[in-house]
Structure 1
Amino acid sequence: MTTDRAEPRVRVPRWVAAGAVLVGLFLLSMDATLLNVAVPELQRDLDPTMAEVQWVIDGFPLVLATAVLPCGAVADRFGRRRCFVTGVLLCGATSAIGATATGPGPVIAARCLMGAGAAVVLPATLSVLTTLYREREARRRAYLAWTVVVGAGGLAGPVVGGALVEAYSWRAGFWINLPVAALAAAAVWACVPESRAAGAPRVDAVGCLLSAGGLLALVWAVIESPSRGWLSTPVLCAYALAALLLAAFWRQQGRAAAPLLDRGVRDDTGVRCAVAAGAVMCLAVFGTLFLISLYLQGLLGCTPWEAGVRTLPMTAGMLPGAGAALLLLRRAPLSAVPAAGLALVAAGLLLLGRVGPDTGYALVAAVQVLCGAGAGLVATVVNEMILGAVGEHRSGVGSALHDASREVGSALGIAALGSLTTTAFERHLTDAAGGAAPAPGEQGAAGTLHALTHLAELPPGVRAVVEDSFTHALSVTAHVTAALVALTAAATWWALRAPAAPTRSPAVREAQEIQEAQEVQEVQEVQEVREVREVREVREVRESQ
């Protein structure tokens, strides 16, 4: 038997248990971006090198993307609640290391360990929600809540981080995790029943190592490409190693007795489309958000906290987008739903392509609302497509697959869109200056940031040229990214327009059959309770007479 097994706990309303899980999820999502605005103060306090600053930011997503797929398999075998509590406590404990650091090394170590904790937590969150909510519509609403909380946490990070830095110091960004982590862990332990895949085989150790190694090499190469160069020897070697390891992982999965991804999942067109749509959506949205932050701070003169507040329309747009996904899943063909979400993101990017030096904030806010709505729609339907294919008994692996694609897409978006913007910026700046860039500073992304952060120090004429060059580069990047998103939307619609019957493994079929039997039994129990109540009411009437 491979269906989920849940241990009895003190019964509480499902929304209480789900709320406890979502608090921990919000904390982990916020941690991913909380320190982004604290870099200047951290530099003044600890005097790290540029490479050390980069790894303070990138250590978290690197370890998270590397470890999340193996952690999903561990959660399915050893218990989702247990993994959730372990991961949250790990994040809280290692936050103390960062908060008390006297040098950049412990800060980097703390961020990497927090990423490991997040990798343990994230697959468990969706798995717990899948176990708590077995009815289709209720489960879809739970996925909607998960999507909104993940997006809100990531976007709230710079806002909360900026407020903490201005009120206290960068260390407060670590200290805040301790009480929240303890509260979330205690609430989940008390309210959420343990669940695991009953009779699950041993974790596929070889598959875990191959997938972790491949994702580590891939994400490292993506992060390092802008600074080292996309065609530099270390970066090309890392991409080659990633391709080799991931190809070996795919081949090994076809031969393993108990693979991480069974054949039914690997051959499922819906899963492939969901992973691609989710990755491209994250690439576009997170890369665009990074560029919008540069625009807000560079051209509009916002402080880090003010810029963080001005990215909240992205969160505001996610809720109606996720709500629209529930409606479309009931009334529209599946092929239309992810394509519609990607189309909204593409529309937002085309609107961003109209930005100019004097555009102002209104257009940027409208771009965020459109992209947020598209992101909410895509993320909600992607959850359902992947978790529906893997089955409830392997929901940890399904959630991890989605998380891995999301982290890779986000990292690639920031790196690729940042590099494209830098290239277009430098080229336009050089052409405008007649072959010599008018703004001093380093080359590459560092030069772009130097030019934007020192606009106030430049003569008015030079400043106008720099502003025009940056908005031109932003427009070029927006149009290129919009084309990529639109192409993905078309390909997703084409692949899903006449879906074949999904290839389900025997384990998935058995789990679904057992789940259906459980649902029938629950309906019968409800009917019996109603009949008993009716009999009691008749007796009470007779006794009163």
Structure 2
Amino acid sequence: MPGTSHPGAGAAERNRWTVLVVLCVSLFLVAVDATVLHVAVPALTEDLRPGGIELLWIVDAYPLVCASLLILFGTLGDRVGRRRVLLLGYACFGVASALAALAPGPLPLILARALLGAGGAMIMPATLSILRQVFPDRRERALAIGIWSAVAAVGAAIGPLVGGVLLEHFWWGSVFLVNVPLMALCLPVALALVPESRGTGEGPFDVTGALCAAGGLFAAILALKRTGGGDLVTPGTLLAALLGALLLTIFVRRQRAARRPLLDLSAFARPAFGASAGCVVLTVLALVGLALVAAQYLQLVLELSPLETGLRLLPLSLSAICAGLLGSRMLVRLGPRAMVSGGFALTVVAVLLLTGLDDVDRPLLLSAGFVLLGFGLETTLFGAYESLLNDAPAGQAGEAAAVGETAYQFGAGVGIAVLGSVMNALYAPAVRGADGVPREDSRDAAHSLGEALTVADRLGGPAAEALRAAARDAFVHGMRMTLLTSAALLALGALLALRLPATGPGAPRPLATADRSRD
């Protein structure tokens, strides 16, 4: 289904690199916002006094809402205009950021975080689908996608560092308020420079199908998150899983029966499209393993400050940027198959290298592992996203971008469920057996390393030292086994990547020759 461009498209092509900058700035803010809150939790907890369930929803409202609405807004952009959805996302994200910064209590903050997720769901697929239109030459588009994916990876990685720097000088709301002026700047610039584009928009928009997809994804990812948190067989987890399965089944049946489906499920049968989406899912599993190392190991085992933690993560960010900038050249030389499978292999090596970490600070080992990890992850994500977007017709660019972003979020949910379950299975029993620790305190300490250290501070004496040692040893052991599990899943990704096309972009090719019709 060919896409249609609108007045201003020629000017946008002349300014396409400026358009890329605008899109990447907004994407960077969305990526940072996904992780920046983690370091602000103690400060906002002290100020707002949320309960345990409220705190959980403050953290999870953003990723859950964002993941559930990606398909809805990605496909809507193909119908009503991708720039229109992007601008609406900017406005929504800016307003939600202001509401979150000034939230007087837990419930307003949860609602503001949910609205932030909706804004993020509008922005993320729109930025990628607009790149499909603004860069008609595949080689240039490959470079643009490399920069785009590097910005997303770096934003997520340095989110905690940005939060730590802001919290050293301002109150917890500053981690949200910083978004407002940047979004206010992006709105008029995008309005002036970004071209409007859409698919042919034939047939009515399937509102019921879109709502089934949103509700099903929300429930399914919520079930995965609860599983990773240790609530494997509980009524809430089972209900969320059943509801998610039911709604997604209804969605799939509606799409198969529709003459003009919201999401073209037959695209997954094409090797380049289906394998690319699968590779994105498996790649994100490594990011979950990285989160375990970065968020807890560096600060709670090695006792580094947020600023020191950010500096330790700098090699990862720099290597990811390098991989993004070199991605288009690697794609031309290696092709998608060798590039993505090689990225997986490099990531496996990095993860296995990080299994050598223990409770002693090993900066050289950590830096080497992060350099390889950043380069491997970015190489894999670059090749997978480029293949997925290039395989889709121009008229389905928003749909393809939404599939890629949903695969990313789903991969994070699966990673939390699988790797979180491995970590909990190894960590909790070891901590419960700590010598001299009362049973109730031991049970609380088994929830997480952070809670164990809090309990130890409260206990004092020899029991506290025994609990700290047991908790840190158990965490390091669980982290190693989690990384090994991650390495095995990444090896599966390398095998899946063999289904991708062997050859990449050769001579520059106009977009029109790559477009295909759905019919």
TM-score w.r.t. structure 2 length? 0.90
- Identify the match of residue 470 of structure 1 among 469, 475, 492: 475
Q: How far has the Cα of 1:430 moved from its partner?
A: 4.9
Q: How far has the Cα of 1:319 moved from its partner?
A: 2.3
Please say if residues 426 and 437 of structure 1, whose CA atoms lie closer than 8 Å, have aligned partners that are also in contact: no
Q: How far has the Cα of 1:453 moved from its partner?
A: 5.2
Q: Match for residue 396 of structure 2?
A: 394
Give runs of aligned pairs for residues 78-477 of structure 1, distance below 5 A.
Answer: 78-227=80-229, 229-262=231-264, 264-430=266-432, 433=434, 440-443=441-444, 446-452=447-453, 459=462, 460=465, 462-477=467-482
Please say if residues 255 and 263 of structure 2, whose CA atoms lie closer than 8 Å, have aligned partners that are also in contact: yes
Instruction: Encode CA deviations 1:292-324: one digit per residue, 9 max, x unaligned.
Output: 320111111122343234223221221233345
Query: Aligned equivalents of 2:373 and 2:461: distance in 1?
Result: 33
Q: Match for residue 506 of structure 2?
A: none
Please say if residues 285 and 371 of structure 1, whose CA atoms lie closer than 8 Å, have aligned partners that are also in contact: no
Paired residue secondary structure (1:243): helix
CA pair 263-165 structure 1, distance change in 2 beyond 3 A = closer
Q: Match for residue 520 of structure 1?
A: none
Gaps (5+ residues) in structure 1? Answer: 500-510, 517-545
Q: How far has the Cα of 1:514 moved from its partner?
A: 8.2
Query: Aligned equivalents of 1:251 and 1:269: distance in 2?
Result: 22
Query: Aligned equivalents of 1:477 and 1:42: distance in 2?
Result: 30
Q: Match for residue 508 of structure 2?
A: none
Gaps (5+ residues) in structure 2? Answer: 504-510
Query: Aligned equivalents of 2:35 and 2:102: distance in 1?
Result: 20
CA pair 424-248 structure 1, distance change in 2 beyond 3 A = same
State the superposition RMSD in angstroms. Answer: 2.6
Please say if residues 277 and 407 of structure 2, whose CA atoms lie closer than 8 Å, have aligned partners that are also in contact: yes
CA pair 380-226 structure 1, distance change in 2 beyond 3 A = closer
Q: How far has the Cα of 1:40 moved from its partner?
A: 0.4
Which residue identity is paired with 1:480?
T
Please say if residues 227 and 445 of structure 1, whose CA atoms lie closer than 8 Å, have aligned partners that are also in contact: no
Which residue identity is paired with 1:216?
F
Which residue identity is paired with 1:253?
Q
- Greater shift, 29-38 or 353-362, is seen at 353-362
Please say if residues 2 and 200 of structure 1, whose CA atoms lie closer than 8 Å, have aligned partners that are also in contact: no
Instruction: Encode CA deviations 1:161-181: one digit per residue, 9 max, x unaligned.
Output: 111111011011121111011
Q: How far has the Cα of 1:363 moved from its partner?
A: 2.2
Query: Aligned equivalents of 2:314 and 2:484: distance in 1?
Result: 23
Q: Match for residue 521 of structure 1?
A: none
Which has the greater radius of gyration?
A: 1
Please say if residues 442 and 450 of structure 1, whose CA atoms lie closer than 8 Å, have aligned partners that are also in contact: no
- Greater shift, 454-463 or 220-229, is seen at 454-463
Paired residue secondary structure (1:450): helix
Q: How far has the Cα of 1:438 moved from its partner?
A: 9.3
Query: Aligned equivalents of 2:481 and 2:489: distance in 1?
Result: 13
Instruction: Encode CA deviations 1:497-520: one digit per residue, 9 max, x unaligned.
Output: 889xxxxxxxxxxx844869xxxx
Q: How far has the Cα of 1:36 moved from its partner?
A: 1.2
Paired residue secondary structure (1:334): helix
CA pair 438-280 structure 1, distance change in 2 beyond 3 A = farther
Please say if residues 229 and 420 of structure 2, whose CA atoms lie closer than 8 Å, have aligned partners that are also in contact: no
CA pair 458-492 structure 1, distance change in 2 beyond 3 A = farther
Query: Aligned equivalents of 1:273 and 1:80: distance in 2?
Result: 25
CA pair 20-475 structure 1, distance change in 2 beyond 3 A = same
Query: Aligned equivalents of 2:204 and 2:58: distance in 1?
Result: 35
Instruction: Encode CA deviations 1:116-164: one digit per residue, 9 max, x unaligned.
Output: 0011111110111111111111000010011011111112211111111
- Greater shift, 335-344 or 49-58, is seen at 335-344
Query: Aligned equivalents of 1:514 and 1:219: distance in 2?
Result: 34
CA pair 78-401 structure 1, distance change in 2 beyond 3 A = same
Query: Aligned equivalents of 2:288 and 2:263: distance in 1?
Result: 27
- Greater shift, 441-450 or 369-378, is seen at 441-450
Please say if residues 157 and 313 of structure 2, whose CA atoms lie closer than 8 Å, have aligned partners that are also in contact: yes
Query: Aligned equivalents of 1:199 and 1:88: distance in 2?
Result: 23
1:486 matched to 2:491? The reply is yes
Query: Aligned equivalents of 1:269 and 1:178: distance in 2?
Result: 41
Which residue identity is paired with 1:89?
A
Which residue identity is paired with 2:496?
A
Query: Aligned equivalents of 1:327 and 1:131: distance in 2?
Result: 21
Query: Aligned equivalents of 2:490 and 2:64: distance in 1?
Result: 24
Q: Match for residue 18 of structure 1?
A: 20
CA pair 444-3 structure 1, distance change in 2 beyond 3 A = farther
Query: Aligned equivalents of 2:320 and 2:140: distance in 1?
Result: 19
- Greater shift, 17-26 or 259-268, is seen at 259-268
Query: Aligned equivalents of 1:157 and 1:358: distance in 2?
Result: 25
Query: Aligned equivalents of 1:461 and 1:443: distance in 2?
Result: 15
Give runs of aligned pairs for residues 53-64 of structure 1, distance below 5 A.
Answer: 53-64=55-66
Query: Aligned equivalents of 1:137 and 1:393: distance in 2?
Result: 20
Query: Aligned equivalents of 1:474 and 1:149: distance in 2?
Result: 27
CA pair 487-142 structure 1, distance change in 2 beyond 3 A = same
Q: Match for residue 2 of structure 1?
A: 2
Query: Aligned equivalents of 1:233 and 1:428: distance in 2?
Result: 27
Please say if residues 29 and 154 of structure 1, whose CA atoms lie closer than 8 Å, have aligned partners that are also in contact: yes
Which residue identity is paired with 1:192?
V
Query: Aligned equivalents of 1:55 and 1:291: distance in 2?
Result: 23
Which residue identity is paired with 1:370?
L
CA pair 475-290 structure 1, distance change in 2 beyond 3 A = closer
CA pair 383-200 structure 1, distance change in 2 beyond 3 A = farther
- Greater shift, 75-84 or 240-249, is seen at 240-249
Please say if residues 25 and 149 of structure 1, whose CA atoms lie closer than 8 Å, have aligned partners that are also in contact: yes
Query: Aligned equivalents of 2:423 and 2:265: distance in 1?
Result: 40
CA pair 338-251 structure 1, distance change in 2 beyond 3 A = farther
Query: Aligned equivalents of 2:455 and 2:21: distance in 1?
Result: 44
- Greater shift, 13-22 or 259-268, is seen at 259-268
Instruction: Encode CA deviations 1:195-253: one digit per residue, 9 max, x unaligned.
Output: 11245443232331222122111111122224461122221232233223223322322
CA pair 336-229 structure 1, distance change in 2 beyond 3 A = same
Query: Aligned equivalents of 1:275 and 1:514: distance in 2?
Result: 19
Query: Aligned equivalents of 1:488 and 1:198: distance in 2?
Result: 35
Please say if residues 341 and 377 of structure 1, whose CA atoms lie closer than 8 Å, have aligned partners that are also in contact: yes
Paired residue secondary structure (1:59): helix
Q: Match for residue 533 of structure 1?
A: none
CA pair 194-463 structure 1, distance change in 2 beyond 3 A = same
Give runs of aligned pairs for residues 515-530 of structure 1, distance below 5 A.
Answer: none
